[in-house]
Amino acid sequence: LEADLAAFDGALATADPAEIFPALTTLLTRYPDNSQILLKAAQLYLLQGDDALASQYLELIDPKERDATDMADGLRELISLRQSLAELGNSELDRAFGTAGQAALKGDFATALEGFLSVVEQDRTYRNDSARKAMLTVFKLLGSSDPLTVTYRKRLMQALY
């Protein structure tokens, strides 16, 4: 498993779909029930903009695996975020939220968190707390001990109270 994961990570580093997708296929064929691999597949297809296929992989994750389930929930929330971005208008807050949302979808979580925090600071109730909820989604994806989570959770609390 470790050697196959290393090969997949090496393929990802090339950013060449001709290497990435065969490596992913190998992983999925050899380890079809491995939640870590299913999450990687979902993440890859989410980055590719294929929300339907990403969702299919997320559905295969064993709900008893808490860590994988938390990550899967975060990825599902990113899919919902992408859908909500299509409904934005042209206000300054809509543009700021949209930019932060696009950053989150690309995996640029530092930029996303800064953008969502800016929206919270300007209007904490914007679109039914969408910016705050988006920050919570990113925290879920990063994990509670990630330095970005620690820093921005504190900044979010300061902005809210």
Helix axes 130-142, 92-105, angle to 10 degrees: 10
Q: What is the pLDDT of residues 95-127, one digit of tens each?
A: 999 999 999 998 899 999 999 999 999 999 999
Per DSSP, 124 falls in state T
pLDDT at 48 over 90: no
| pLDDT single digits (tens) 17-38 | 888 888 899 899 999 999 999 9
Kindly list the distances between the CA atom of residue 2 and the CA atoms of 23, 27, 108, 159, in Å, as whole numbers in the listed order: 13, 10, 26, 42
Long-range contacts of 126-132 (CB under 8 A, 24+ apart): 126/93, 126/97, 127/84, 127/97, 130/84, 130/97, 131/97, 131/100, 132/156, 132/160
